[in-house]
Structure 1
């Protein structure tokens, strides 16, 4: 035996970049140094998660068959080569298979090879284990739909009082924005107003066409737009135009009546008519909408604005009685749609029948799961929404407004849960956003909805919430506070309080945005900074659940009492990340060849220091790199690389680092005779001269989210 040691491999799911030791895993491409994240191509255990099972292959002599090894569920496998008879000690290592692998022929699966970089290997690599050396490789897979760029914009509907018909109803702002924006005409950026969309909640974004979809919402003292209670609107970010996209039928027919005690009768309609959340498919072709009137899921073709199939009732079997089922929130990841709602306990008025329920929906088969993945009672103690009154969830108010509650003159709370939004964490756990229904039934300095109490002028403080539901190792889900979903204190997201830590301890208003490569979860909240009677966004630590010692430093104010806002009542709709399409990456290796044009198992040595220049199709330089110690190089969007574009790669061997047995002028370009694209040499030397300083490859990048790590160049030393 010439050599041999242990090769460890790990695979992880890289929320956009990264196997290692062989380890396999999954995570999120990270491009946000401003928010404290790792740089892309560097492992971060908070972002990346182990991913298995899978298969890795090691090859040595051509006369011996390659050996395959299973990657465990933890994403790792350790291979001991010390027992291999007459092993040469050098090996080609390849990640062959992994769970949920995307198959372009069938369209099944969703995880593709991810970016490579420092500390992260391409899916085909080489290791030298001679003389007792060990090696660790770290590979990664990702779902390109998980990608989001540095500091994306967020979009949210501002819900304006009917007395401000021309007020802002769709705004955008950078994710890193913090502080109060009152009086700032440029932050947020206004894209639509009340005459165009009216009151909206749901938001979805088609990153390919740069269109923002918003859905109508039933809110007291907030008028519908021109399309009424079933309207979906679309705003084109390229042109700035907002138009009507579609009308969901049967979404309600109760009119607003603003003059009559400020639309008091409409308090009974909230959560029972118009539209709930909306969500878009990963490819942007389908828009999913919750009709809260008939409690069904509608699907639309985003290109033609036409319905796709018949509406599907969202199952009500978890509720007793079934009539109390109130769906609203949606979430989507890895091709699975999540639909959530509550058993409202409106009929029995018994808090023990108040429940949170989440179903999965398979768009490919058009079917919901046989049982809900979450079915949790909501009768537990909560912190006060307005101290000192406990903020425990209450059954939904009856439609009979003569029984509508009041808290007397002044500020009060009566929290009623609406499961309004769902985000899916890196490991498949859920974050559930709950909106307080009373925040849409009442408002700021407004008469009580009970006709007998019209003289009671009140202001509501909302008491929504955030909950974490952990996905266990067995694929089940556990509500926070259980053994498999630990927390400190009474709740995981303990940052949902006013900055002074008193008075308001449940400030969340139910909409969420989660950049999988970031450290913070965004949620709509009341009084997010220090200006009271306002609404905006709070930014929660994903790992600890807090907003820091001073929560106001992780807040952004968006609507205020004097600009048509609803004060401490609900004033915003959904939150949506406006992510770019996923980037592409090209590159891989300049290696020391034996002049046969093919990378063999024993050609583990790369050639460092070779300059690689990225040029456009006309030859204009865009970026340049030098090969690293392994002979590897990579270009991506940070270097100006674009999808579906032709480039020229120029390799310059004159800068190659010298070694004890060659200098740059001793290197010859290898012939381009290999048949395997993954292992052959692609570089064509200038003038067909193998001793020329430069060699060139013409390459066309793939569609967004793809990589090409097969652009290699071989160099050999004449004896």
Structure 2
């Protein structure tokens, strides 16, 4: 997720169900699928030839995922270093090899300690908020402390005068602009754009302007001077705007209209928008009554848009009718395709731990109403403090493993307020908000099921329950409470989290985020893996707003992540069989220069292939190209155009590009094309941020030459006699040879070995011969003479010669030739004499002369 080319097992879980293929030189394969931990073990067994193999890890969905950033590496020893999705391994001699590779959704990328943005809401009762009071601020992920007392901890970006009350917040990674949406909340006021306003803020300058007005947001006015805006409470969650999100490509802004219950779509690349690109009615999932369907939240993941809402049960007043529903929306077709979650909201919550037994504590979710309840679960709700959570599905996020993080805001405090006096028909009320952060995991039919309904790991324990809390609660995130107040504030979440997938913790908007005796709102952080609060002290949270007491005073929270970086690569190899495919046994080309050019022909990066033939261009790992020079949507050309590489002594001397684009698997072919140029090139146009391309492979061939060697030696000679043998090198085609080398260890015991061939030398009883060009059909004969050994008994000696050419040899089976010779002990006739006998034996020895080729063995 952080594009560092290494596997962080804590942040980057294994991926199940990914296909992996192991292939040998003959093209035979075995296939496996990764397990729940993302691991697969492949054994060549008896079905594959022994030695070297190609490993291919198949992309589960190329439309969504791209290869993750890889590291150029000289070995495969460190399993935390990420390889490309195609690797080459040597398992000969019983070796085992472990490699790790990755795919990513580029939208998951984020830089460390990213800046966050958060919305603050200001009270206009009993007195109006100052026009200069903050409504939007930014700060780094690691910021902690009291920003109310020390406002310099955060950067204020917009004010009450510029935007009024907001909730939704989105960040455009491409234009680096923030967008916020108006929100209906009692006791506040709308900004200059009214209830349908969306504002655009430049975080670099703080300049804020009206982006657009969403049509039909409702018309109920705020009346802060009439019973403290009491009448406005009934439209909370039903007018103005809900959540706002922007697609990772920066093109679309989506926002939920709470009044007409439609999803609006705007061009997010523009400074202003006169009208939406489109709007879509968000389907009623079958609530008890049509008016009960209340969409609000948005989420975007893997190119899909998700819209969430609740069946409010306001028409029936029955908790059994409360449901949370999430729809999937297809950006391409403009259709809502299916529901991915449909869950009852009847599970228990942690509740307040009040001093009075008749205090209405909010043990679960309750149907929406427009009044203050007189009783709750059979308990009277007297004037004063009350918790009566009414659910709004306000935000949707996704974890790295695909789990959904569902944020619920509490509507009740937004319509009732904090420490308000008796009003006509409405007793004095001090509302304790009771939102919740939930995990939703895959259940039956691949639908998401909430943790409260038993689908996810239950991290709730006695230690997290606080004082007087029952243990029937099931929660993945028990850390959304404040135990420092004796457990009295047990559901402090206010409806929004921000997940940076390169961090181990996640912040949420919460009540009383620090433990000083303060009342208000800000952020505290949860452990992403077990849901516990990171810590509870004055430095573990960020306090931002004192308005509305404990009744909810902030809106959405957003990460301001950069766009994912790009990487291009990755391999240059010797295509020995000239088939255009990277076979396992074919060798990498080391030290070859690769250059990267922009669309104007400017060289913007250069590198050389490593010992495994790999090369990469990126700004994050190899850092051989500037980030501003490597951007998606631009066209680049990768060239192997260093003339020195092709000259004498160069790594590509005598080489030419192999056949490009062979077959239908671009991950294992060669992509280098000459197009009339002497140098191969690959043209690449990345279409999106982080869409890494590791298919930039170059294969080279040298004109193949089948050199064969023959050995001719006498079948029998007498010990101590002269011996002569010949080595013949023949070019069998199909191309002329530029040169060759013969090596022939002279058998032990032969003395006075010599040759008159000018290309040969004998050192330490090893004959070495080199020759120049040899045309097709031509042969070169090397003659070696010496004296045979003089053993005490008859024996056999064998002489073997090996030839190697400058060019690839398509037929290595004839590169070695051996021929045995029998050495006999002389039998001397006393009547003739030794000298005469020796001469006679030398002459008659030619009668035994024969020719042997290749590896023919002779036995006695």
TM more than 0.5? yes
Q: Deviations over 1:257-287 (max 9, x none)?
A: 1112322221212111111111222322222
Pair 1:536-2:522 in alignment: yes
Equivalent residues in 2 for 1:615-630, closer than 5 Å: 627=610, 630=612
Instruction: Work out which of the residue numbers 176, 196, 207 in structure 2 matches 1:241.
Output: 207
Deviation at 1:200, TM superposition (A): 0.6
Instruction: Work out which of the residue numbers 293, 315, 322 in structure 2 matches 1:354.
Output: 322
- Return the TM-score normalized by structure 2: 0.67
* Contact 1:387–1:502, Cα closer than 8 Å, also in 2: no
Instruction: Work out which of the residue numbers 449, 471, 477 in structure 2 matches 1:493.
Output: 477
Pair 1:451-2:424 in alignment: yes
Change (3 A) 1:317 1:349: same
- Return the TM-score normalized by structure 1: 0.79
Match of 2:854 in 1: none
* Contact 1:597–1:714, Cα closer than 8 Å, also in 2: no
Pair 1:414-2:381 in alignment: no
Q: Deviations over 1:164-192 (max 9, x none)?
A: 13311111111121222223343321111
Instruction: Work out which of the residue numbers 122, 129, 151 in structure 2 matches 1:160.
Output: 122
* Contact 1:177–1:556, Cα closer than 8 Å, also in 2: yes
Structure 2 CA distance for aligned equivalents of residues 570 and 308 of structure 1: 31
Equivalent residues in 2 for 1:630-641, closer than 5 Å: 630=612, 632-638=614-620, 639=623, 640-641=626-627
Structure showing greater relative contact order (alpha-carbon pairs closer than 8 Å, 6 or more residues apart): 1
Match of 1:112 in 2: 66
Change (3 A) 1:44 1:696: farther
Q: Deviations over 1:287-320 (max 9, x none)?
A: 2211111222222232452555653332223321
Pair 1:512-2:474 in alignment: no
Instruction: Work out which of the residue numbers 410, 414, 426 in structure 2 matches 1:436.
Output: 410
Pair 1:123-2:56 in alignment: no
What secondary structure does 1:326 align onto? strand
Structure 2 CA distance for aligned equivalents of residues 133 and 632 of structure 1: 22
Deviation at 1:228, TM superposition (A): 0.9
Match of 2:14 in 1: 49
Instruction: Work out which of the residue numbers 325, 350, 356 in structure 2 matches 1:383.
Output: 350
Structure 1 CA distance for aligned equivalents of residues 66 and 588 of structure 2: 26
Structure 1 CA distance for aligned equivalents of residues 278 and 613 of structure 2: 56
Pair 1:132-2:98 in alignment: no
* Contact 1:407–1:413, Cα closer than 8 Å, also in 2: no
Equivalent residues in 2 for 1:112-261, closer than 5 Å: 112-117=66-71, 119-162=81-124, 163-164=128-129, 165-261=131-227
Structure 2 CA distance for aligned equivalents of residues 343 and 700 of structure 1: 49
* Contact 1:262–1:447, Cα closer than 8 Å, also in 2: no
Change (3 A) 1:345 1:113: same
* Contact 1:411–1:461, Cα closer than 8 Å, also in 2: yes
Pair 1:80-2:65 in alignment: no
Structure 1 CA distance for aligned equivalents of residues 239 and 228 of structure 2: 19
Deviation at 1:577, TM superposition (A): 1.2
Match of 2:734 in 1: none
Structure 2 CA distance for aligned equivalents of residues 473 and 674 of structure 1: 51
Instruction: Work out which of the residue numbers 662, 669, 672 in structure 1 matches 2:652.
Output: 669
Pair 1:292-2:258 in alignment: yes
What secondary structure does 1:94 align onto? strand
Change (3 A) 1:237 1:511: same
Instruction: Work out which of the residue numbers 306, 312, 325 in structure 2 matches 1:344.
Output: 312
Structure 1 CA distance for aligned equivalents of residues 293 and 685 of structure 2: 49
What secondary structure does 1:221 align onto? coil
* Contact 1:356–1:375, Cα closer than 8 Å, also in 2: yes
Match of 1:30 in 2: 2
Change (3 A) 1:621 1:285: closer
Q: Deviations over 1:20-64 (max 9, x none)?
A: xxxxxxxxx136xxxxxxx54225265233143546362514xxx
* Contact 1:380–1:392, Cα closer than 8 Å, also in 2: no
Structure 1 CA distance for aligned equivalents of residues 311 and 301 of structure 2: 25
Which stretch shows the higher mean deviation, 175-184 or 432-441? 175-184
Q: Deviations over 1:651-707 (max 9, x none)?
A: 99x9xxxxxxxxxx97733535234376659799xxx9xxxxxx9999978452132
Structure 2 portions without partners, runs of 5+: 72-79, 461-472, 662-667, 703-803, 807-860
Change (3 A) 1:599 1:312: closer
What secondary structure does 1:288 align onto? strand
The structure with the largest alpha-carbon Rg is 2
Structure 2 CA distance for aligned equivalents of residues 679 and 403 of structure 1: 74
Match of 1:545 in 2: 531
The alignment of Structure 1 onto Structure 2 pairs a total of residues equal to: 645
Instruction: Work out which of the residue numbers 408, 423, 443 in structure 1 matches 2:397.
Output: 423
What secondary structure does 2:135 align onto? strand
* Contact 2:20–2:55, Cα closer than 8 Å, also in 1: no
Deviation at 1:158, TM superposition (A): 0.9
Equivalent residues in 2 for 1:680-699, closer than 5 Å: none
Structure 1 portions without partners, runs of 5+: 1-28, 32-38, 103-109, 655-664, 689-694
What secondary structure does 1:186 align onto? helix
Q: Deviations over 1:343-364 (max 9, x none)?
A: 2222332223222222222222
Change (3 A) 1:80 1:346: same
Structure 2 CA distance for aligned equivalents of residues 502 and 681 of structure 1: 64
Match of 1:20 in 2: none
What secondary structure does 1:497 align onto? coil
Change (3 A) 1:287 1:393: same
Deviation at 1:78, TM superposition (A): 4.3
Deviation at 1:249, TM superposition (A): 1.5
Q: Deviations over 1:5-29 (max 9, x none)?
A: xxxxxxxxxxxxxxxxxxxxxxxx1
Match of 1:283 in 2: 249
Structure 2 CA distance for aligned equivalents of residues 590 and 544 of structure 1: 45
Pair 1:476-2:447 in alignment: yes
Structure 2 CA distance for aligned equivalents of residues 600 and 265 of structure 1: 73
Change (3 A) 1:586 1:312: closer
What secondary structure does 1:170 align onto? strand
Structure 2 CA distance for aligned equivalents of residues 697 and 150 of structure 1: 36
Deviation at 1:495, TM superposition (A): 0.5
Change (3 A) 1:546 1:607: farther
Deviation at 1:409, TM superposition (A): 6.5
Deviation at 1:394, TM superposition (A): 4.7
Q: Deviations over 1:176-228 (max 9, x none)?
A: 21222223343321111112111010111111111211111001111101111
Change (3 A) 1:206 1:669: same
Pair 1:273-2:235 in alignment: no
Match of 1:691 in 2: none
What secondary structure does 2:146 align onto? coil
Q: Deviations over 1:496-551 (max 9, x none)?
A: 11151522111110112112332222211011112421211121111100013536
Pair 1:570-2:556 in alignment: no
Change (3 A) 1:262 1:672: farther
Deviation at 1:72, TM superposition (A): 5.7
Structure 1 CA distance for aligned equivalents of residues 364 and 373 of structure 2: 21
Structure 2 CA distance for aligned equivalents of residues 649 and 186 of structure 1: 51
Which stretch shows the higher mean deviation, 249-258 or 583-592? 583-592
- Alignment root-mean-square deviation, CA: 3.9
Q: Deviations over 1:223-270 (max 9, x none)?
A: 101111111111133553222122122211111111123222212121
What secondary structure does 2:291 align onto? helix
Pair 1:558-2:544 in alignment: yes
Match of 1:460 in 2: 431
Change (3 A) 1:51 1:100: farther
